[in-house]
Structure 1
Amino acid sequence: MSETRCTQAQYDAITEAAAQWCMRLHEPDCTARERDAFAAWLNAAPLHAIEYEAMLEIWGVSEHLSRPAPAPAQVTGWPRPARRSRWQRYAVAAAVTLLAIPVAAYSGWQLGWLPNAHERYSADASTRTVTLPDGSQVELNLGSQLTFSNYKDQRRVTLGKGEAFFKVSHDAAHPFLVQAAEGQVRVTGTQFNVWMYEDQVRVTLLEGSVLVTSNKRLSGDGLRLEPGMQARYKAGDYAAQISPTAAVSSELAWRSGKLVLDNLTLADALPLINRYLDSPLSLADSATGKLRIGGVFNTRQIDRLVSSLPKVLPVNLSRNAEGRTVLGSRAPL
């Protein structure tokens, strides 16, 4: 069945089948034979994979999952989700299965299970400014991805990777949540920047106030930031580290296409540099990490910064057994 010749009835049938498979595969008693049947269905037509991927995203949103859903091609070795009560499983499954029906979608919205708007945004080789459905504006740095979901009681953004600057429309009754790694930023209306690399996150506040937690599953509202302050956390931190920052302009220099390294150790600078590299750098040892670097660099030409490092610092570039570029100290000439 080709995607271009698909009738509305056929398309609806594929969507319903994708929902049913999504529901069944998340059940703990799903058999190996059923998974084989699913694999055959998934590979029968390109539209099957497209619709199933969309259904996985809806499932993830409806369950408030913090981990990404598996890609459609991964049809074996599926992780089994934590066991939930029967009524929860059926409620979510019904919402997913009947999402195309206005009444079910409306009920899901009223109960706070499903959003009435869900959008995905990305920026690749250039920065991008987008306006979210609630009127908030977001600037995306190079190589950044985020999704926006509008629920009855909150607005939720998930920063998948990269960096974003937010100008949030004020709505005290409808808080704005940004999820990054294991933590969360909660606001009603303000301007702030969120930087993420792997499991490290930095939140810099420009205007207003925000509440930052290093793990959104922990109780409490988190730590409050005031303008000119920054919060840092990584996976496993019990609480974010809060500190004043006099370098707000440096933190936001990416909006002008610049990376500012203000006399940082290589250990601190590498995550900022690696954010722009397809193949990240690593340090040979702690002594190399203590060397300092400063300067202003073009974010679209970070590879030139890497190649110039041996010219400005006593380091060598080499490759390890995994093929990654390694920075190691060398004796000064």
Structure 2
Amino acid sequence: MTDQREIPRSTREAADWLTRLNDDKLPDGDIEAFSAWRAVPENRAAYERLEDLSQSLRLLANDPDIEAVAASAMTGTTKPKVHFIGRGRRGYFVLGAALAAALIGGVSATLVFRPPSYSTGVGETFSARLDDGSRVTLNTDSRVRIRYSKGERRVELVRGQAFFDVAHNAARPFIVAAGDTETRALGTKFEVRRTADGVRVTLTQGSIVVTDRDKPSATWRLVPGQALALSPRSVAAAKPVAVDAKASSSWTTGDVTFQDVPLSAAVAELNRYSRRKIVLADGVDANRVVNGVFSSSDTTDFVDAVTTLFGLDRVAKSNGDVELQPKVRRAS
């Protein structure tokens, strides 16, 4: 077996993170710790190497030779082996699952073949390259599960919001399931947001078809610059509407863009990114319209702007929240 002491520390830690990030019950604090750890260039490189290795082996999950090696690795009955697998004119050298587990210092054989999932905590974003070359970017407090097969590429948006840059493959459609909604694409860029009220799909590039299990006979085909909102109460009346797709996806670069958005909705959107909330006190006109581009990681500029524009006072609360109150007029 490979001596663990011969494996660089960054690789051992990367293997540990690769395992933990596939845990459905990963605490938000672990996501924050992972982001800090991954900010170190050596750690980032080690993690991406192991992620690529895991993805490559996962593509071979149905190969009988690889399955046999994986089974042996899990029972500890064999030493690490290297297999040569022929594919017609193509032959390629494949690391057996047991050897892969040894090389990456602790990633179990079961993890190599387990469909991956990715998640973020509050205030976090995360981007990952998928097996087929597509890329998924998660917004704050979001989670996806990846389920690829020979006939299709399926992603489940469990919660939150994700942006997809899909690699074209006409033989394997790319499908994003969010609740009862399915979005089908071949090669395109779009985002899906899932909330308690329903699902919203926004198309940036290419073409997508959206369906809903509650109304299987109806489909909606979107063109770039359109969005579709579906909820259990409005499926029958739903139709694509024109939007600023670039503004909608500005969160992927760390910004939030508001265009004629009510103050209450702008506050609710920014509150998604922080555990310290902005609160509107009684007497504040929540329907005042907000326009502008603000950082999702720092609400200072937003609070400065609305207090000045709308004549409000800010009050810091003991729990870290900021309450916006009507400005008190002092007697002259």
Give how far 1:203 is off: 1.8
Partner of 1:44: none
Q: Are the counterparts in 2 of residues 314 and 331 from structure 1 also a CA contact under 8 Å?
A: no
Instruction: Report the AA paired with residue 264 of structure 1.
Output: V
CA contact (8 A) 1:266 1:290 kept: yes
Which among 287, 290, 298 is matched to residue 290 of structure 1? 287
Percent identity between matched residues is 30
Q: Retained in 1: the 8 A contact 2:137–2:163?
A: yes
What count of residue pairs does the alignment treat as equivalent? 228
Cα gap change, 1:324/1:235 in structure 2, threshold over 3 Å: closer, same or farther? farther
1:183-229: CA deviation from partner (whole Å, max 9, x where unpaired): 2212222111223444343322122111223x434313521101111
Match of 2:78 in 1: none
Q: Work out the CA distance in 1 between the residues paired with 2:282 and 2:290.
A: 16
CA distance change for structure 1 residues 228 and 139 in 2, over 3 Å: closer, same or farther?
A: same
Q: Which residue of 1 aligns with 2:153?
A: 155
Q: How far is 1:119 from its partner?
A: 0.7
RMSD: 4.1
Q: Which of 262, 266, 269 matches 2:263? A: 266
Given residue 208 of structure 2, which amino acid in structure 1 is its aligned partner? V
**Is the alpha carbon distance of 1:223 and 1:296 closer, same or farther for their aligned partners in structure 2, counting shifts above 3 Å?**
same
Whole-angstrom distance in 2 between the partners of 1:181 and 1:285: 35
Per the TM alignment, residue 155 of structure 1 is displaced from its structure 2 partner at its CA by 2.0
In structure 1, the residue matched to 2:190 is 192
- Cα displacement string for residues 95-136 of structure 1 (whole angstroms, at most 9, x for unaligned residues): xxxxxx959xxxxxxxxxxxx761111244553321112321
8 Å Cα contact 1:211-1:221 kept in structure 2: no
Instruction: Quote the offset at 1:176 in angstroms.
Output: 1.7
**1:14-46 deviation digits (Å, cap 9, x = unpaired):** xxxxxxxxxxxxxxxxxxxxxxxxxxxxxxxxx
Shift of 1:310: 3.2
The 1:177/1:285 distance shift into structure 2, 3 A limit, reads: farther
Partner amino acid, structure 2, of 1:231: L
Partner residue in 2 for 1:135: 133
Residue correspondence of structure 1 range 1-333 to structure 2 within 5 A: 118-124=115-121, 125-213=123-211, 215-220=212-217, 222-239=219-236, 240-245=238-243, 247-278=244-275, 288-302=285-299, 305-306=302-303, 309-314=306-311
CA distance in 2, matches of 1:318, 1:223: 46
- Cα distance change, pair 168–287 in 1 and its aligned pair in 2 (3 A): same
Normalised to the residue count of structure 2, the TM-score between the two structures is 0.54
Q: What SS does the corresponding residue of 1:205 show, helix, strand or coil?
A: strand
Q: Which has the higher contact order (CA 8 A, sep 6+)?
A: 2
